[in-house]
Chains A and B, each alone.
Chain A
Amino acid sequence: GESVGLHLPTLSVQEGDNSIINCAYSNSASDYFIWYKQESGKGPQFIIDIRSNMDKRQGQRVTVLLNKTVKHLSLQIAATQPGDSAVYFCAENKASWGKLQFGAGTQVVVTP
């Protein structure tokens, strides 16, 4: 899951398996959450988002689950591929003008 520190938490996944990346958010009033993927040397790339009036949202090979009771967000990647190796981080909307609070990220390593 997400944590703050010098070393990113790492999730090692075998190719073809499903990945689950977890994120705890801080503000119960946040109404929008987003997941980004960042490959080495590149900018963050939008993956999927979810509003607080939903519990689940599905995209292509990805699913985001939102548990507002425990302020927890997860990203599931189905049939993980080598191209999924990256840092994944969540963000929550902290203000009406769109300020996002970012988590520190989780490094996903896909092994053959």
Chain B
Amino acid sequence: DVKVTQSSRYLVKRTGEKVFLECVQDMDHENMFWYRQDPGLGLRLIYFSYDVKMKEKGDIPEGYSVSREKKERFSLILESASTNQTSMYLCASRSSRVDTQYFGPGTRLTVL
């Protein structure tokens, strides 16, 4: 079974703080994704990585950056958290040979 884990289920941060969200997958998948999920807006792609040290912007990259130093780990960084970044953050991974993306449990981030 594919296992995608995220470092925190719930996180509360203050405006202006630097926030790190970590995602780890154990299936040697090449591709990894970060989404945010908001009521009424569905899942929106922030960034994705198709291999180690490779990254591409998704639909809403503003205010975020990412890091992929190892194949199994993909980090989402909020350089200076703002209240409009309060959301559910979901990580997913995928083998480059198949289309199915597998999701982690999500991190609910609240920025005060």
Contacts and interface: CB of A to CB of B under 8 A. Distances in A.
A98 B105 contact: no
Give the contact-size bracket for chain A. 20 to 34
Interface string B61-103: 0000000000000000000000000000010001010011111
B106 A46 contact: no
A25 interface: no
Interface of B: 4, 31, 39-43, 45, 48, 50, 58, 90, 94, 96, 99-106, 108
B50 A97 contact: yes
B94 A89 contact: no
Given A98-B31, A98-B101, A44 B90 contact: yes
A104 B40 contact: yes
Interface of A: 4-7, 32, 34, 36, 41-46, 49, 89, 93, 97-100, 102-105
A102 to B, nearest CB: 4
Contacts of B101: 34, 46, 98, 100
A49 B31 contact: no
B100 A34 contact: yes
Interface of chain A, helix or strand or loop or mixed?
loop
12 contacts: A4-B42, A5-B40, A42-B106, A43-B4, A43-B103, A45-B103, A49-B99, A93-B99, A97-B50, A98-B96, A99-B48, A103-B42
A34 B99 contact: yes
A7 B99 contact: no
